[in-house]
A = this chain, B = another copy of it.
Amino acid sequence: MSVDSLITKLKGLTTEDFAVLDHQKVLNGTAWSETLSSLNNVPSHTLTKTVVLKPKTAKSQAVVPILVVALESTSTPSGAAAKAVGAKEARLAAADLVEEVFGIPPADIGVFSVNEQNASKVHVVLDKNLINHGGLLAVHPSSSEKTLFVSAAAIESYLKTIGATPVVVDFSASAKPAEQSKPAATQKKADVSKNDAAIENAALIGITVRKDVDFPNWYQQVLTKSDMIEYYDISGCYILKPWSFSIWEAIQKWFDKQIKKLGVRNGYFPLFVSSKVLEKEKDHVEGFAPEVAWVTRAGSTELEEPIAIRPTSETVMYPYYAKWIRSHRDLPLRLNQWNSVVRWEFKNPQPFLRTREFLWQEGHTAHMTLESANEEVYQILDLYARVYSDLLAVPVVRGIKSENEKFAGGMFTTTVEGYIPTTGRGIQGGTSHGLGQNFSKMFNIVVEDPNAEVGTTGERPKLNVWQNSWGISTRTIGVAVMIHGDDKGLKLPPPVALVQTVVVPCGITNKTTDEERKNIEGFCAQLASRLIDADIRAEADLRSYTPGYKFAHWEMKGVPLRLEFGPNDAKKNQVTAVRRDTFEKIAVPLDNLEQRISDLLKTIHTSMYETAKKQFDSHIVRVKKWEDFVPALNKKNLVLIPWCNTTPCEKDIKKNSARQANGDEPEDEKAPSMGAKSLCIPLEQPTGEDAIVENVTKCAACGSHAKVWGLFGRSY
């Protein structure tokens, strides 16, 4: 990272100003100190130092270096640093390891040499003295010819943004002889921030924080370490690697087939929208305007009018619908496109959940009648629910959005809503909108009414068409990761897993002959082939690593089923299957293996769905009195209340649940201060004694007459 772009980044993170000085190359602290004191305009500061350590690592494992950043004055024994990250011992890293990881020589290394690209491959250890230091710190911004003066807070913000998870170590404590003499097993660990989140004995390449304690960090580690996501040098944009993109391909394949059965056809509309067209429907564009990205230049030529990148395509498409729809015979018109859209959000981005560019499909249809349009709204909603249940093993609630939460410019919005147990927050999973005639009036999309009498003008009266639009995005992937994953990593639902089952040769020891080993490996390869021929996505892992390493590797990547095969299995004519979701071990006869594995994958899917469904169901709590509302919310529930279904009441609920939450037990970092939003009015309403009785049942929030049961919750 250049110094300029580093400073730009730091400015985005904090309110400080940053001074940079150029000077001669300094190769150690003494030279640095002398050089700085010889210059003018140097702010008062404290020197820091940065050291790269190489922990002792098994040959089969990748080396994860430790970057120690401390005050120059702090003594930083490598043992203490190693222990803090769960390594046994460590020594100063050789220059070429440093170069390999950071691309620069050791003398140039500073805390800012850690970036989005290498953060997941490095442990960062911060000196507690440095963290507690209130003044300016002198650091090298990846060059020993420059000094940057920053606060400890700016360093911490920076590390958080790039996704590093620093461990703070009190080196002065670890240096005390009394503590050092304690036996290793019972010794108090170094003072580690988020200490509770650290997983004991986590392999260095594995997930190092607990899902239930440090969920944001867990999510980031799971996505990067499983090879789903790579962080990108433009904030809010992410690279989808094959491990996640294949999930999207599976969703595309299934959903595309379903909508084509309904008569939908695919097309492609341009990425670019003229400002005129974008701004035609005022209510609609208002929701998007602050997030629209504008192209103003091509090569070195300024464009005469800026051109927008589509945030969604209603106003892109409907002028053409007005042209194409000439007669009732042209209806229904059903078009869909698979594309990416851009919404330049300034809120904190999160892979899959909130990204500046995302992949989705957007369907846009026009109908002769409201009935035909409405039928489709719910057909699509059903398909969205099935994407979640049948492909992703994720349960959702189908419902209708409140007036306040519906799509801007539309008539009504239906939605599938999911639930993330770890945070207790709801998440919108996909929306199917009935647009009514609002857009067709705006864009003059009309046909002659074929059922009407010919009027005095010689023509039949015009009807505005009824329109729908519907979309589901790569957010689906993030939801599935958050719900199913555990402390070992991803858990992929079998229908979307790029590798559904991995075959690992086992039981190879020092005594195994070369021929025996070859036989076992050859048989594993054959097993994989058999399964592939039966359309099961299988792979044999014949790499020269230990079985234990491979187990951890594929568990982290979430492969639903592992097949172990070794000499003992050979004798018994079986493979040993291990389920990723339950770790259950099952001996599977080789006879008719394909069918058995296929059945097992189905069982895993059902079981994953049912586990998630039970958890979801047990966290939808029916509440009839306001005083129970916030406590239920604080127990990570979504709350179902008899509700008056009015916007003022909805806004009060949000405000009151936010305020009352303060002072309650801490949950995830954002939830406590967040009020409950209306998620949806579920299509499936409580019946029996809980059924709403008109003019009798009271709204749990405002006390006026309840119209419906409404689902509320803190949400993404």
Contact = CB atoms under 8 A, between A and B. Distances in A.
A246 B268 CA distance: 10
A117 B268 contact: no
Contacts of A356: 272
A271 B309 CA distance: 11
Contacts of A296: 294-297
Contacts of A5: 276, 305
Interface in A252-297: 265-274, 276-277, 289-297
B289 A309 contact: no
A295 to B, nearest CB: 5
Contact of A340 (B241, B271, B323): B271
Contacts of A96: 457, 459
A486 to B, nearest CB: 25
B267 A245 contact: yes
A60 to B, nearest CB: 12
A319 interface: yes
Interface stretch (A24-32, A130-138, A231-239, A557-565): A231-239
Contacts of A233: 274, 276-277, 319
Interface string A2-16: 100100100010000
A242 interface: yes
A89 interface: no
A497 B336 CA distance: 19
Contacts of A182: none
A716 interface: no
A266 B253 CA distance: 14
Interface in A329-350: 329, 335, 339-340, 342, 344, 346
A230 to B, nearest CB: 6
Contacts of A525: none
A103 B276 CA distance: 17
Contacts of A298: 291-294, 344, 346
B237 A270 contact: yes
A194 interface: no
Contact of A245 (B266, B271, B329): B266
Q: Is the interface of A mostly helix, strand, loop or mixed?
A: mixed
A88 interface: no
A300 B288 CA distance: 12
Nearest to A121: B323
A270 B234 contact: yes
A272 B543 contact: no
Contacts of A270: 232, 234, 237-239, 357
A359 interface: yes
A118 B320 CA distance: 10
Nearest to A245: B267
A345 to B, nearest CB: 9
A22 interface: no
Contact of A335 (B242, B291, B459): B242
A444 interface: yes
Interface string A631-672: 000000000000000000000000000000000000000000
A270 B242 CA distance: 14
Nearest to A355: B270
A242 B265 contact: yes
Nearest to A446: B100
A249 interface: yes
Contact of A295 (B240, B293, B326): B293
Interface in A196-225: none
Contact of A357 (B272, B290, B293): B272
Contacts of A324: 230
Nearest to A120: B323
A334 B498 CA distance: 15
A39 interface: no
A304 interface: yes
A12 to B, nearest CB: 8
Considering residues A96, A270, A306, which has the most beta carbons from chain B within 10 angstroms of its beta carbon?
A: A270
Contact of A271 (B277, B357, B543): B357
Considering residues A238, A241, A305, which has the most beta carbons from chain B within 10 angstroms of its beta carbon?
A: A241
Contacts of A304: 8, 12
A8 B275 CA distance: 15
A548 interface: no
Interface in A344-375: 344, 346, 356-357, 359
A269 to B, nearest CB: 5
A242 B266 contact: yes
A319 B117 contact: yes
Contacts of A340: 268, 271, 339
Given A242-B266, A294-B298, A230 B320 contact: yes
Given A232-B270, A245-B268, 14 more contacts: A5-B276, A96-B457, A230-B324, A233-B276, A237-B272, A242-B266, A245-B266, A246-B265, A271-B357, A272-B356, A290-B299, A295-B295, A295-B296, A296-B296
10 contacts: A2-B276, A62-B326, A230-B320, A237-B270, A242-B335, A246-B266, A265-B498, A294-B298, A296-B296, A299-B344
Interface of A: 2, 5, 8, 12, 62, 96, 103, 117-118, 230, 232-234, 237-242, 245-246, 248-249, 265-274, 276-277, 289-301, 304-307, 309, 319-320, 323-324, 326, 329, 335, 339-340, 342, 344, 346, 356-357, 359, 444, 457, 459, 498, 543
Enumerate the 3 nearest inter-chain pairs by beta-carbon distance, A residue then B residue, closest first: A298-B344, A242-B265, A237-B270
